[in-house]
């Protein structure tokens, strides 16, 4: 392993520890780290809605722009002042969660292959956010705004593209006109309109994209911003005066952090960092990476056009087309290669992916060539033969979550899938009817599925809330679901041991392993709930 790969792995492990600690505090469902993109949407709309009121009272004249903004904080603090502060803090939060979202996706390696479109369309959004935020600072037209506008003009003047230097607009009071602030207002409103389009484009290849966080998290975030607005209201500094050179100023480290760097180095250095950083972000998806996995394959003779794979695909990689048989109204699933995540969730959704089919070779309507359902049935049958008479447990896991190789015991038959969502629910019943005393289904932590919806669809299918579902409902002791990330193998082993003891106690009580009851769901290795 190279030094860079080792450092990246260490950073990922450190990040996962942070994320898991928030799971303990908030629960996986309300963990803000798992909803960074959705929080970005929330903060953007707070900025947009509060900005509507601020624009109504904004006077874009030279003499009125500072006065109209300052009036909100001084004379109308109870409404305008709070909205101004909320507008500003929401803008800071929007930028912060966007940067954290980018960092999280990078650490998780989610910028290559089928994800390259979302990555590449997300990079320009950073420019839109910064441009709109910096121009928003200028609209205050206080001394900090004067410093920032003049500094930005000097930075842009480094490029040999302007007929006259932009800094001339800030050398004297006579150089500043009403048209300048009309331009600022136009940019401050126009760029967010481009941002809306960019955000829409950014999620086009994601089905069921989360554009708002859970209600409790949204309410908590809004209340936190309101509390901050009331405790530390945003106010303007002294009005801009182009006849004076501003002295010491409290800097805005969210949007203007790069401007002191320009004076510490040079405009050319800042341009090199900005252009180099942007190019690096754009180039990341096309750098050499591991070979792409084979995509899902559709077998027309076994596809009845039920649309379940189409509904369950996390990345809108499946479309329905007329069936080649020519039967009126019958459809066929078709995979879009560039969008396919090779996760196998579609195979788990296919009604023909059942091991109970009496065919020598099990061929499904849609399948993964590197791990076909027919091969999984054969593996399970071999595993059940080895468990005969051992009161054994069949474990279905995924390659993205806790490693099953760390689970030991002759009473275990382990099967790691591409994603837990690839598991057809009928395999649970098949294992139990084939002699297994219990089945454990595991995968990435709740809300942390590497393919977004694998955990969710698995739970809903096993609970009978989504097709395909179990025909017979296993007992609470016979079926468990334990979500555990890579690195949590010890916690998963504890779940296995607890399951062994429960099954042993059930055997002593001579209870049936298959009964009309519900299955336990262990949302994380430390917490257990039951489907009701």
The predicted-structure confidence for 334-350, as pLDDT tens digits, reads as follows 999 999 999 999 999 99
What pLDDT, on a 0 to 100 scale, did the predictor assign at position 253? 86
pTM attached to this predicted model: 0.88
- Cis previous bond, 525, omega within 30: no
Mean pLDDT score across all residues of the chain: 89
Q: What is the pLDDT of residue 140?
A: 92
pLDDT, tens digit, for every residue of 244-278?
A: 877 788 888 889 999 999 989 999 999 999 999 99
SS3 call for 333: strand
Model pLDDT for residues 17-65, shown as the tens digit of each residue:
899 999 989 988 899 999 999 999 999 999 999 999 999 989 999 889 9
pLDDT in the model for residue 167: 86
Closest Cα to residue 432, out of 399, 470, 482, 404? 470
C-alpha to C-alpha distance for 262 and 259, rounded to whole angstroms? 5
Specify the pLDDT at position 47.
Answer: 97
In degrees, to the nearest 5, what angle opens at C-alpha 256 toward C-alphas 254 and 258? Answer: 110
DSSP state of 301: G
pLDDT tops 70 at residue 468: yes
- What pLDDT does residue 361 have? 87
Give domain limits for the chain: 31-245+253-286, 297-508
pLDDT digits (tens, 9 = 90+) for 84-142: 999 999 999 999 999 999 999 999 889 998 899 999 999 999 999 999 999 999 999 99
Amino acid 7: pLDDT: 63
How far, in Å, CA of 59 to CA of 431, rounded? Answer: 72
| Most confident of the ranges 1-5, 233-237, 379-383, 517-521 | 379-383
Which CATH number does 31-245+253-286 carry? 1.20.810.10
Above 70 in pLDDT, residue 531? no
Average pLDDT over residues 439-448: 93
Q: What whole-number percentage of the chain has pLDDT above 70?
A: 94
């Amino acid at each position: 392993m190279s030094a860079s790969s080792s450092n990246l792995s260490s950073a990922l492990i450190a990040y996962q520890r942070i994320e898991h600690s928030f799971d303990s505090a908030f629960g996986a469902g309300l963990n803000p780290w798992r909803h960074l993109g959705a929080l970005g949407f929330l903060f953007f709309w707070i900025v947009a809605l509060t900005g509507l009121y601020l624009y109504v009272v904004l006077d874009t004249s030279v003499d009125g722009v500072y006065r109209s903004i300052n009036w909100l904080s001084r004379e109308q603090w109870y409404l305008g002042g709070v909205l101004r502060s909320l507008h500003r803090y929401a803008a800071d939060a929007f930028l912060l969660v966007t940067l954290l979202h980018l960092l999280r996706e990078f650490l998780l390696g989610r910028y290559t292959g089928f994800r390259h479109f979302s990555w590449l369309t997300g990079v320009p959004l950073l420019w839109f956010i910064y441009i709109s935020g910096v121009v928003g600072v200028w609209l205050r037209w206080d001394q900090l705004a004067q410093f920032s506008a003049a500094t930005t003009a000097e930075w842009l003047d480094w490029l040999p593209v302007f007929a006259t230097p932009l800094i001339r607009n800030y050398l004297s009071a006579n150089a500043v006109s009403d048209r300048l602030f009309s331009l600022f207002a136009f940019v401050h409103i126009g760029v967010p309109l481009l941002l809306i389009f960019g955000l829409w484009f950014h999620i086009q290849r994601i089905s069921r994209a989360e554009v708002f966080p859970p209600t409790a998290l949204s309410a908590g975030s809004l209340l936190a911003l309101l509390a901050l607005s009331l405790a530390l209201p945003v106010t303007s500094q002294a009005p801009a005066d182009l006849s004076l050179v501003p002295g010491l100023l409290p800097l805005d480290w969210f949007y203007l952090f790069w401007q002191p760097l320009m004076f510490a180095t040079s405009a050319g250095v800042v341009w090199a960092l900005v252009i180099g950083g942007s190019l690096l972000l754009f180039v990341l998806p096309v750098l050499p990476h591991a070979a792409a996995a084979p995509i899902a394959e559709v077998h027309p003779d076994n596809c009845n056009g039920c649309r379940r794979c189409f509904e369950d695909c996390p990345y809108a990689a499946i479309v329905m087309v007329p069936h080649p048989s020519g039967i009126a109204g019958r459809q066929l699933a078709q995979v879009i290669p560039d969008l396919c995540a090779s996760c196998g969730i579609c195979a788990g959704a296919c009604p023909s992916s059942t091991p109970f089919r009496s065919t020598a070779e099990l061929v499904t309507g849609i399948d993964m060539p590197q791990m076909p359902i027919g091969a999984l049935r054969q593996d399970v049958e071999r595993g059940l033969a080895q468990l005969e008479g051992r009161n054994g447990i069949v474990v279905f896991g995924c390659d993205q979550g806790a490693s099953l190789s760390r689970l030991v015991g002759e009473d275990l038959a382990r099967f790691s899938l591409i994603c837990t969502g690839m598991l057809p629910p009928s395999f649970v019943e098949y294992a139990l009817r084939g002699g297994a005393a219990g089945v454990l289904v595991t995968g990435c932590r709740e809300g942390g599925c590497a393919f977004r919806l694998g955990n969710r669809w698995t739970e809903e299918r096993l609970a009978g809330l989504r097709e395909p579902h179990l025909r017979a409902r296993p007992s609470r002791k016979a079926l468990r679901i334990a979500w555990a990330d890579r690195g949590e193998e010890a916690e998963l082993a504890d779940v296995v041991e607890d399951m062994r003891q429960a099954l042993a106690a059930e055997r002593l009580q001579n209870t049936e392993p298959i009964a009309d009851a519900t299955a336990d769901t262990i949302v994380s290795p430390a917490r257990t709930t039951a489907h009701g």
